Structure 1
Amino acid sequence: MPSLCRDCFAHTEEPRRRCAACGSARMSSHAELFTLAIAHVDCDAFFASVAKRDRPELASRPVIVGGGQRGVVSAACYVARTRGVRSAMPMFKALSACPDAVVIKPDFAKYVAASRQVRALMEALTPLVQAMSIDEAVLDLSGTEALHGAPPAVALARFARRVEKEVGVTVSIGLAPNRLLAKIAVERDKPRGLACIGAAEAAALLAPEPVTILPGIGPAFAAKLAGMGFSTLGQLQSLDAREAMRRFGEDGPLLVARARGEDSRPVRPERETKSISAETTFDRDLAQPAEMQPLLWRLCEKLARRLAEKGLAAGGVVLKLKTSRFALRTRHVRLAGPSRVPETLYAAVLPLLMREADGTAFRLIGIGAQPLVEGAKADHGDLADPEAPRRAARWAAMEALRARYGDGAVRAGRGLAGPAGRR
């Protein structure tokens, strides 16, 4: 049974509880440890870890990243998690469960900077890095043993140490023969973990697990499966392809294959951007459009910047509203031509807001670009909208002034009034 010390990187073909070289108990042992090459890397409690990195006095304190009594938890450190705090939990519930928590507002500039550092260290291991989010990615290290002078597991352990030393956060790693199993493995040993799932053991290991362990199976689908008599992966594994298709349609055979731990998806270095959006939660419920319009304008500005950063434009705009009772409303409008100028986005989405402002109290507003199109196609103007290039030029001039003199150098009047909102 091969073993690896995650502290000094000594490795042996024999199982060990402690490292013979340095005495560490942080040993990883698995029959396929030195042959597995697909890794899922997840930064541990990323937002909270960055906050603790920059404020060492919080090292042992429960930390929640979020904002306001009406907001939700963006992230919670492991100390806070032991008290029952979870991501996406309403802030008032989180503070009720952990009243001594230190609440820190999100700082996305810091998160992006740290994420880029981690990504650079990943790409030093292999060019096959597929980012899944700001704090996790999947890597294919097949064929890299000669480059690193060690199996992928050893290279990954060294990588984890470099991340801790150079970025100041920790990572957990799942190692497996495919992406699905690597994702499941990384959840089995956190924080600072290195967990393996091999091909030979996959089906038996997954059989007793609930169906919700599979990525993409949420509460609603799980309830539907339970109603059909499938609550564990083992129950799904028992179906052949024909029966799976009869019960679940064309996606049935794939569902059963995933229940067995089978996954043929390659690691793709570039992942298509499917959506770009921005939203904010109000500090208090709002019903009057005059109060929401300034926040809507600021969201249009934020969306325009995010589109520009990705080299994309909006072919249409989606309005998202959440009522005080958490009911969701979404409305969509197609643009006359692709755009990434706030003025154009705002003019298209404002009528949607006015139609929905029927006296209902709302707690959240958001906008998104849908569909996404190439940025090169944006704001050229035509006979129907000859002013589009001028609007784009005005926006570019404003952004240039902000870049040089700060965000407060120039502002549009419609964004100055209105109540506060968050993210």
Structure 2
Amino acid sequence: MKFRDLHSTIKLRLITDFFTDITQMSILPFMAIYFSSHVGAGMTGILLMINISISIVVGLYSGFLSDRMGRKKMMVIAQVIQVIALTVMASVNSPWLTSVWITYLMFVLSNMSSSLIGPAANAMIIDISSEKERPFIYGLGYWTGNISIALGAAIGGLLFEDYKFILFLLFLIVSGITLLLIIFFIDETLTKTKIDSEEVQQKVGIINHYMAVLKDRGFMLFVLATIFTMSLEFQLDKYVAVRLKNEFHTHFFSIEITGVKMFGLMMLINTITIVCTTLYLSKWLSKYNPKVILSIGLSIYACSFSVLAFSNSFSLLVLSALLFTLGELMYSPVRQTILAGIVHEQARASYMAVDNLSYNVAMLLGSLGLTLGAFIPSKAMAVVYFGLGIIGLLCYRYSIGIKERKSVEQNQRIINTF
């Protein structure tokens, strides 16, 4: 499988996502610093929580609409909103005009746009890809995504403080080009065969629609597994980073390494490993059973985070940083491939919206982990981390088992009809 063999829409999505992620990551991670410098840390926390809450609701509504009006229409609407928001944000952060509150309103609007486009774009990829193609697509997307995040964060760190206006303009230009590409070069993928009749669609409201999704036991176990495993990743820049800052200090060949420097080194190892090994590892692992790869990857992931929770050994931390990255590289593309196979064909965007919601819950658990770590010792946190990883693994395995049983039962019913 090669990039040129993919559907043209998938190739466009991967390319536009790469440049969008670079520009987004050069701005969004630094907005908390921007707002706190103008309105204070306390008010900034409230504003960001409001923003996350709005994004959750919008994301769920987007999934509902994308399964009715179409993926492309939702993506065009979202991208138009993004262009408008960024135009205003650039204007009120220019050399001629500055407004913090208008910036915040447009920041919320920009995040609403991202929440609108996410479920539709993810469902579109599933619509036009085969099960055989998906491991390569998700592996490639994971690789390019991490590169773009690293590049964007580096650019933002260098330019955001003094050149916000230029960064907003770059984001606006990328968003404008993306809008044109969606309009003129991407086709609708939601066909009539993938949706219910209009009469049925009109009778089912958004609440009943999502209740049906929540009743899908296999999928909800998958979501629960995602929450547990992703909550470990969100511990990295919270509990683990704070613990290292407070506890870690060593010298390596006469070079002083503080906890903050150690955390930065671990992030560097993570980025370099992802950039250098993702494509080769994905190609090699595609030869083996996905369930086995998932189990091994998550086990390595959980064990590595357990070490990060308590160890102050330089060599162990470096090894764990390498291993948790390899574990993530093993399970993450497999997870995406399994997800694409278990979502209901008639409500793909809605399922993707609920899956996106699991990341917000995992972020909340990541924040709670920092609070919990203030009351229990680091070795107890190591046990908690290991437990989260293993419970997540078990939920994934049960979810896959339910999917396989349903597939066998469906095939048996087809056989019995002949």
**Greater percentage in strand:** 1
> Which structure would you say has the larger RCO, counting Cα contacts within 8 Å and 6 or more residues apart?
2
TM over 0.5: no
Q: TM-score, normalised by structure 2?
A: 0.26
Q: TM-score, normalised by structure 1?
A: 0.26
Higher Cα radius of gyration: 1
